[in-house]
Structures are given as C-alpha cells and as structure tokens.
C-alpha cells in the first residue's frame, strides 16, 4: 500500500504546476498583401482570397482587399483567367501539369 502512495505522489506532482501569464508587446508591422488560393483541375469554382496582414493577437478575420484584381495566366496557351472581388469566382478548368503565372494588382 505504501508503494502505491510512493508511485502516486510523483504523478500528482507531475500534473500540477505553476502558470504565469506572459504579456508580450509586439510592434505593429506594416500592412502586407496576403494571397490565399487553391487552384485545381476540377470543374469547381476557383477561389482566390486577397487580404491584408493583421496583428498576431488580433481576434478577427483579416480584412479583404476589395479593389484587388487577380489574373492567372496559363503559360502554355497564354489564356488569362480574371478574378475580381465583385465576382464570386469563375468556373475555370485548369489542366494538369501546366504552368501558371499569377499577377496581382491593388
């Protein structure tokens, strides 16, 4: 019985600890553009999300860039696919193993 207490005591000490709250002061950096996209060869809407960077501790969704124009260019055929904020995403079919170039303007 004594052995059980001796083995139980280190487990109790292992799972109890002190916790200090650390407040880190981070400087506000410059706003950068963040482009988040997933382009596939499936017949689905292709979505490109353009936002600006936000502070690390911000508890909100990153603000979108509303006047952004994104173009995706197929490098083999020179076909341009335009994405804009007003459209909900275009139905585009992309080929496998093709190279694309992405251009961004705000």
pLDDT, average across residues 35-43? 74
- d(CA 85, CA 25) in angstroms, rounded, equals 35
- d(CA 9, CA 3) in angstroms, rounded, equals 10
Q: Count Cβ atoms below 10 Å from residue 52 Cβ, excluding itself.
A: 14
**3-class secondary-structure state, position 10:** helix
Res 82: pLDDT: 77
- d(CA 36, CA 34) in angstroms, rounded, equals 6
**3-class secondary-structure state, position 80:** strand
pLDDT digits (tens, 9 = 90+) for 46-101: 677 788 888 877 888 877 887 777 887 877 788 887 776 654 433 344 555 566 66
**3-class secondary-structure state, position 79:** coil
Res 98: pLDDT: 60
Is pLDDT at 3 greater than 70 in this prediction? yes
Q: Which residue has the higher pLDDT, 7 or 94?
A: 7
Res 36: pLDDT: 81
- d(CA 30, CA 44) in angstroms, rounded, equals 35
pLDDT, average across residues 18-43? 78
Res 45: pLDDT: 66
Is pLDDT at 38 greater than 70 in this prediction? yes
User: Do residues 106 and 33 make contact, with C-beta atoms less than 8 angstroms apart?
Assistant: yes
């Amino acid at each position: 019985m004594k052995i059980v207490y001796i083995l139980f005591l280190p487990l109790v000490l292992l799972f109890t600890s002190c916790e200090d709250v650390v407040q880190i002061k981070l400087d506000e950096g410059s706003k950068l553009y963040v482009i988040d996209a997933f382009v596939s060869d499936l017949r689905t809407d292709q979505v490109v999300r353009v936002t600006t960077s936000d502070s690390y501790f911000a508890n909100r969704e990153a603000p979108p860039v509303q006047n952004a124009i994104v173009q995706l260019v197929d490098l083999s055929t020179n076909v341009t696919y335009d994405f804009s904020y007003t459209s909900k995403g275009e139905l585009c079919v992309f080929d496998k193993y093709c190279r694309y170039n992405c251009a961004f303007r705000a």
